[in-house]
Amino acid sequence: MPGPAVGIIMGSASDWDTMKEAHKILEEFGVEHEYRVLSAHRAPAAVTEYASGAEGRGLKVIIGAAGGAAHLAGVLAAQTLLPVLGVPIESQSLKGMDSLLSTVQMPGGIPVGTLAIGKAGAKNAALLAVAILATSNPDLRDKLSAYREVQTKAVLAAKLEG
């Protein structure tokens, strides 16, 4: 039995409301995944253990989400060769600009693929993980293509009142 292909890691349980959007997309595509709270600041040793063991456990992509001084995705990326996608959580005080800048501004050499702030970023991180997996999985590629078609039809069928 293959294990999870995608790991969704978030800095706090308070991030789950946002990161549920990533979970829902991966469920929809039938991608095996796991989700956990691991904080770069409050539980740094556990982040190291997770990142360094992820590839050996068969994971293919890690999504790291945090708010404020959002170092989680970068710290994960520093300790694995797997692609790491970063989701900046919308913080209360600075509306996620702090999270965005601290996730996206990585030093050259250690990339984090950073998505938008909040729920759109969570959803897109999962879709990007699906796209990465789809490069070597034709069934998943077909599902992604169908998803895009449905989305396009819905946009073109939109009715405006007035």
Interacting residues with ligand RP5 (CB under 6 A): 11-12, 14-15, 39, 66-68, 89
Q: How far is the CB of 4 from ligand RP5 (least distance, A)?
A: 21
3-class DSSP state of 64: strand
Of 116 and 131, which CB lies nearer to ligand RP5 in the complex structure? 116
Q: What is the C-alpha separation between 55 and 101, in angstroms, rounded?
A: 27
Non-local CB neighbours of 140 within 8 Å, separated by 6+ positions: 29, 31, 130, 133, 134
Using an 8 Å Cβ cutoff, are 65 and 11 in contact?
Answer: yes
Q: Where are the alpha helices (DSSP H) in 40-137?
A: 44-54, 72-77, 97-104, 119-134
Residue closer to ligand RP5 by CB (options 12, 137) is 12
Whole-number minimum distance, CB 50 to ligand RP5, in Å? 15
For the CB of residue 90, give the shortest distance to ligand RP5 in the complex, in Å: 9
**Closer residue to ligand RP5, CB minimum distance, 15 or 21:** 15
Nearer to ligand RP5, 89 or 125 (CB): 89
